[in-house]
Structure 1
Amino acid sequence: MPAAVSSPIPAVLLKLGPLDIDRVADLRPYFGSVPDPRSRRGRWYSLTTILLVCACAVVSGAKSIDELAEWGMNASGRLLAAIGIRRHLLRWRRCPSAATIGRVLGAVDGDALDRAVGAYLADRHRAAAGSANGGERRRVIAVDGKTLKGSARLDVARRHLLSAVTHTPVATLAQVEVGAKTNETRHFKPLLAPLDLHGDVVTFDALHSVKVNVTWLVETKKAHYIAVIKTNQPTTYAQLDGLNWTAVPIQHTASNIGHGRRESRSINPGYSAELGDLTPR
């Protein structure tokens, strides 16, 4: 039975889309920032080369270590040359073996790999959004945590990831593993710190609606935000509830059915200058 793909292979690789030779070249500098956990002695394939093989194989549908190696054995010589595969002098070695790939993925820094792929996706997304919007740089990014389905084992609890995902088009810009949902808040700033958020709008649920986070977003990252304030934050909730909302025209209303009830949300952006940002009612 083929071995399962090791955990350091990030789920965000699935967002890369088809990797032709030009995109392989674009991805190389980002993978070059990931530290190599191996000693210098005895290396034949660079870490970047192995990660490029894995990236191409994963977006082609590979789901196991054996399938990653099989993709490399079946790839064209032109693509392997673009990836950086060096043919062995005796011509008996063409691509990294399953054993080599497994050892590398088991030792590589998963967070560093996530950051590298996230940076690549962020740059691609910003360029695509800028072209589509005539050079407009503003993006809308959601920060939320989800538990990975099927990640539990007999001796390991299900893994929980905190991710930064663009609304449209959808792309995962960054993600980090957290121990449990209650630990998400302290990972908020480390998750977003590497991203250029200048002028972007960041959305998040009530768990992250704390002063230290929103102040950091505005003052340090120069970003806008949409925060959710609930009654378990009585001071902030009372301040918002005390505003004269009836004097502000409603700009947008959305209704849907969720959690067994009908929910309606309205946006009154008229107080944005006073509150410092967009505030949903």
Structure 2
Amino acid sequence: MSNNNLESLHKLELSVLKQINDFFDENNLIYFAIGGTFLGAVRHKGFIPWDDDIDIAMPRESYNRLIKLSKDTDIFDEASVVNFHNQENARTYFTQIVVKDDYLVKYGLKENRIEGLALVDILPIDGYPDNHLMQTIYKFRIYVNKALAALSNSDKREINKVDSFRTLIYSIAKKLKIYKMFNRKKYYQKLDKIYSLNLNKETKLSGTVTGAYMFKELVESSFWKTREKYKFEDTFIYGGKDFDKYLTHIYGQYMILPPEEQRKSIHEVIE
């Protein structure tokens, strides 16, 4: 993505972030910055310069309430709340905030190769079983249903973004049109039930297992008990109080910038 496009995208995302802060506070919805967004808040006081979206997480109860509220309320001026509950062909299990078509033109942006340009990824925070046997069953069920959901999505999968083995699998699935054999929404519904098994239970670990790093994103549940405001460009973003423990767990020496050749967005936007 060109620097001009990235600047326009960050400007749009900041506008949406301010609306998130207002709407969530008004409705007692809790969120935390996660991943590269949290790293950006701590290391750069805003966006990582080459990052192109915002990642936040919500406790499952708040996450479910957001889904219900977004069905009846047009929350954002420039974007829509999209998930498999309200859009049949949603490409991800988790919720995304996607730019409305009119604003793609206004901000000089091009749409994503799937369905719309996602500004914000919203992931639920779920508990992880304490019992070792239950952990094994939990992981197995998630892996199986995620694999089937991915195959059902292979017609639209951006296969250049994943490792070579999965690239091969998706390529074969696409050529054979295997995706026609699977109902993506059905597998998302199954995953929804599995992820929610520990709702309202006190577990030692919890996190955004729906994310890219899956079970690596599990942290001590106490991390999600307290949050504070972090400066983020000309506004703020909420994040967990113990930022060092979280960022070290995910990134290691997180204050060290990566080599220049690695300073790229993981998302591709058509120029």
TM range (shorter): under 0.3
Q: Give TM-score scaled by structure 2 length.
A: 0.25
In terms of Rg, which structure is larger?
Answer: 1
TM-score computed with the length of structure 1 as normaliser: 0.25
Which has more helix, going by share of residues?
A: 2
